Amino acid sequence: MKLKALVTALALGFGAGAFAQNTGPVKIGFITDMSSVYADLDGPAGGEMVKWAAQDFGGKVLNRPIEVVTADHQNKADVASSKAREWIDKDGLSMLIGGTNSGTSLAMAKVAEEKKRPFFSIGAGSARLTNEACSPYTVHYAYDTVALAKVAGTALVKAGNKNWFFLTADYAFGHSLEADASTVVKANGGSVVGAVRHPLNASDFSSFLLQAQSSKAQILGLANAGGDFTNAMKAAKEFGITKTMKVTGLLVFITDVHSLGLANAEGLQLADSWYWNQDEPSRTFAKRFFAKYKRMPSSVQAADYSAATNYLKAVQTAGTTDADKVMTVLKGMKIDDFYNKGQIRADGRMIHDMYLFQVKSSKDSITPWDYYKTVAKVPGEQAFTTPAESKCALLKK
Amino acid sequence: MEIFGIPLQAFLGQLLLGLVNGAFYALLSLGLAVIFGLLGIVNFAHGALYMLGAFAAWIMLDQFGINYWFALVLAPLTVGLLGVVIERLFLKRLYKLDPLYGLLLTFGLALIAEGIFRELYGVSGQSYNVPELLSGATNLGFMVLPNYRAWVVAVSLAVCLGTWYLIERTRLGAYLRAGTENAALVQAFGINVPLMVTLTYGAGAALAGLAGVLAAPIIQVNPLMGSNLIIVVFAVVVIGGMGSIMGSILTGLGLGIIEGLTRVFYPEASSIVVFVIMVIVLMIRPAGLFGKEA
C-alpha cells in the first residue's frame, strides 16, 4: 500500500513537471553587473526595462504568465555561467539576457548553446560573440566593438588623425576593441604607434597617459569603459595631454558623459546605437524612464526593453518557447520599434543603424541631459562585421 | 641617457607619479597603522571612510557652496566625528574579544556605507574640479606636473610626519602608547584612557577622510573608490609591519614608486605587484619590514 502511494506520488510529481513546461510561466532571466562599475548604464534599471517589456506585452504570452528573474554577475564569468545553468536546469528558464561585460556574455553564450536557449547579449561589446564564438542561439542586439571602431574610428581617421596610440582595458572587451579599432585605422590609411594595457578598475591613469604622450601619436584611443574611461579622460585633461594629442573614447555611454560633465566631455565624438533625444518615440520612452529614475536611459537600457519585447513577439508567432523554432522566427522577422529598425542575421548579429554623435558644449545644451548632436547615421551593413569579414560558420552556409 | 631602455626624462616622470600615488597610500596606511597600533582594530571601514571624505567634500560644494579649502578641514572633521560615533556605539564593545570581530564589524559598516551611497548617487561618479588656485601645471623639464598633484604630495608628507612626531615624540603620544600597553596602570595615573582611545579612532578616521578630500579632484567621486583602494592599502600596512607608524609611511611611498615603475615596464602586472611583494615580505619577515618580531 505504501509502495503504491509512493509510485502514485512520483507519477503525479513527474506529471506536474511536464505540465509546468508547457503551461507554467515563461521565464526570462537577466544577468548583469548590478552593483559595480557598469551598474549605472545597465544594472537594476536594465532589469526593470525587461520587466516593463513583459508588463507592456500584457504580462502573458501563449496564455502563460511572463516571469522575469534578475541576478548580479559581479563581473565574474563563472558567477554568470553558473547562475544561467541553475536557472535553466532548475527553473526551466525560456530565455536569457546578458548585460554588460563581454567576459560574462561569452561564458553565458556557451551555456545557452549547450542547453539550447535563446541568449540575447545586450550590454557586452566583444564582436567575438557573433564571430569566432558565434552560436545558433546567440543574438547580439545593441552594439559591438567592430561597429564602434568602424563608426567612430573611420570618422576620426578621415578627419586627419592618422597615428594612433591605444590605452586598453586588460580583458576580453578591451582587447576586442583595440584589435577592431586597429584594423579600421590601418584600413583607412592610418597607423598604430603603440598600446598600453591597464587593469580593469585602475586606480590611477597618469602613468599610462604619460607613456601615451611620449609616443608622439596624434590621437589616443581609450579602449575601455565606464569609470576607467571617465578617470582616464579626467587625468588626460589634468596632465595637459589634451593639448598635445586628441583623446577619444571608443565606448562612451551617456552616463559617462553625465558623470564627466560637459566641460570635460565637450567635443568628444562617439558611436552609439541609440540616443534618448533622437526622435519622438524615443523621447516618450525616455520620459517614462526619467519619471522613475531621475536620469535618462542609456542605449543599453533601451535595448533591454526592445530585445525582451521582440523575443516575446517571436514566441507569440512561433506559438511555442522551443528555442529552435523561436530562433527561426527571430531571424526571419523585421524588428521595428523606438529603439531601432533592423534584422537579426544568421550569425545572431542584429543589423541596425549606428550613429556618430558629438558631445555638445554647455552653451548648446538647453535641457537637462541634452548632450548629443547627431553627426552621421551609418547603415548597419557598413557598421557591423560584413559576411566577407566574418569567421562565423553560420554565415557561410 | 636611458635607464632600462626608457629615456631618463620619462623615467623621472614615472618616479614622480609613483610618489604621488605613494603619498595616498602613505596617508591611508598611516591611519590604519595608528588604529591598529593603538586600538588593535583591523579597520576594514577605512576605504569607506576615505570614500565618505570625498563625498563630504563633493556634497559640501554641490549643496552648500562650501569651497575646497574649507572642505579640506570640514570634511575630515565630519568623517572624524563619524569615527567617534562608530567607536562609541560599536567598537568599544569589542576590545575584549578576538580582533576578528572588529574586522567583521568594520567590514560590515563599509558595505553598508557603500550600499547607501550607491543607492543615492549611482556608480558613475561625480566630478569635483581642481580648486582655482591649484589648477594649471608646472613644467619641470622632464615632465609637466599638475600643481594639484604636487600639493597632494606636500600635504600628505606634512600630515604623515606630523602624526609620526605626535605619537612617537610627544607626551600625548607617550600616554597613547602607554595606554595600549597597560590601560589600567595609565588610568591609575589619572588619564582618561577610554576618551583617548575614542579620539584616536576619530583621528584615524579623519586621516582617511582627508585622503578622500585630496583625491576628489583627481578621480571621479564614486561609492566604490574606497573598496578599489583598501585592499592595496592593507597590503601596504602588512608589508610595512602592522602598527608601525614610520613603517607604513615609508612603505606607502616606496610601493607607490614600485607600482608606478611596473606601469611602465609591465603594465598588466601593475595591479598585483604590491601583493607579490607582500607575499615575498611575509615569507622573509612575517612581522613586516618595520614590524617588531613578536
pLDDT in tens, B43-91: 999 999 999 999 999 999 989 999 999 999 999 999 999 999 999 999 9
Look at residue A318 in the predicted model and tell me its pLDDT.
Answer: 95
> What is the spatial distance between Cα A91 and Cα A87, in angstroms, rounded to a whole number?
5
- Contacts of residue B10 in chain A, CB cutoff 8 Å? 210-211, 214
Mutate to test the interface with B, among A201, A259, A264 (most CBs of B within 10 A): A259
Nearest Cα residue in chain B from A201? B228
Grid coordinates of A351: 543589423
* B279: contact with A, CB 8 A cutoff: no
Look at residue A16 in the predicted model and tell me its pLDDT.
Answer: 43
* CA angle at B119 for the pair A69 and B90, rounded to the nearest 5°: 115
> What is the spatial distance between Cα B186 and Cα B192, in angstroms, rounded to a whole number?
8
> What is the spatial distance between Cα B284 and Cα B294, in angstroms, rounded to a whole number?
15
Is pLDDT at A20 greater than 50 in this prediction?
no
Of B124, B146, B260, the CB nearest to A207: B260
Closest by CA position to A203, among listed B51, B154, B219: B219
- Please state the φ and ψ torsions of residue A131, each to the nearest 5 degrees: -120, -100
Is pLDDT at A13 greater than 50 in this prediction?
no
pLDDT tens sequence across A327-352: 999 999 999 999 999 999 999 999 99
Look at residue B105 in the predicted model and tell me its pLDDT.
Answer: 94
Residue whose C-alpha cell is 556634497? B59
Beta strands in chain A (DSSP E): 26-32, 60-61, 64-72, 95-98, 119-121, 138-140, 163-169, 191-198, 219-223, 246-249, 269-272, 334-336, 341-344, 350-352, 354-359, 372-378
**B233 contacts B32 by C-beta, under 8 angstroms:** yes
pLDDT tens sequence across A382-391: 999 999 999 9
Distance in Å, alpha carbon of A217 to nearest chain B alpha carbon: 16
Evaluate whether ipTM surpasses 0.85: no
Q: Which residues of A touch B (CB under 8 A)?
A: 35-41, 43, 170, 196-199, 201-204, 206-208, 210-211, 214, 226-227, 230-231, 234-235, 238-240, 255-256, 258-261, 264, 295
Is pLDDT at A354 greater than 60 in this prediction?
yes
> What is the spatial distance between Cα A314 and Cα A329, in angstroms, rounded to a whole number?
6
Look at residue A17 in the predicted model and tell me its pLDDT.
Answer: 42
- Contacts of residue A39 in chain B, CB cutoff 8 Å? 118, 122-123
> What is the spatial distance between Cα A244 and Cα A214, in angstroms, rounded to a whole number?
10
> What is the spatial distance between Cα A213 and Cα A128, in angstroms, rounded to a whole number?
31
Distance in Å, alpha carbon of A260 to nearest chain B alpha carbon: 6
Mutate to test the interface with A, among B2, B17, B124 (most CBs of A within 10 A): B124
Look at residue B180 in the predicted model and tell me its pLDDT.
Answer: 76
Mutate to test the interface with A, among B16, B19, B119, B123 (most CBs of A within 10 A): B123
Of B14, B137, B228, the CB nearest to A207: B14
User: How much is the mean pLDDT over chain A?
Assistant: 91
- How would you write B195-241 as a 3-class SS string? HHHHHHHHHHHHHHHHHHHHHCCCCCECCCHHHHHHHHHHHHHHHHC
Of A206, A239, A259, the CB nearest to B220: A259
Is pLDDT at A132 greater than 70 in this prediction?
yes
CA A188 to chain CA centroid, nearest Å: 26
Closest by CA position to B53, among listed B172, B176, B159: B159
With CB atoms and an 8 Å threshold, state whether B148 touches A238: yes
Of B125, B229, B264, the CB nearest to A211: B264
B91 secondary structure, DSSP code: G
Is pLDDT at A1 greater than 60 in this prediction?
no
Of A37, A203, A240, the CB nearest to B123: A37
B93-97 — which CB contacts under 8 Å span 24+ positions?
Answer: B94/B41, B95/B39, B95/B40
Look at residue A71 in the predicted model and tell me its pLDDT.
Answer: 96
With CB atoms and an 8 Å threshold, state whether A211 touches B17: no
- Contacts of residue B122 in chain A, CB cutoff 8 Å? 39-40, 255, 295
- Mean pLDDT in residue range B256-260: 91
Nearest Cα residue in chain A from B15? A207
With CB atoms and an 8 Å threshold, state whether A239 touches B144: yes
pLDDT tens sequence across A214-265: 899 999 999 999 889 999 999 998 888 888 899 999 999 999 999 999 988 9
**B216 contacts B209 by C-beta, under 8 angstroms:** no
Q: How many CB atoms lie within 10 A of CB A115?
A: 17
Is pLDDT at A3 greater than 70 in this prediction?
no
Q: What proportions of chain B, in percent to the nearest 5, are helix, strand and coil?
A: 75, 5, 20
Domain positions in chain B are 2-118+142-229
**B239 contacts B255 by C-beta, under 8 angstroms:** yes
With CB atoms and an 8 Å threshold, state whether A234 touches B267: no
Q: Which residues contact A333 (CB under 8 A, 6 or more apart)?
A: A310, A313, A314, A317, A343, A344
Whether the CA torsion B87, B90, B96, B98 is positive or negative: it is negative
- Contacts of residue B267 in chain A, CB cutoff 8 Å? 170, 196-198, 208
pLDDT grade, residue B110 (50/70/90)?
Answer: very high
According to DSSP, the residues that pair with B126 across neighbouring strands are B221
Is pLDDT at A123 greater than 80 in this prediction?
yes
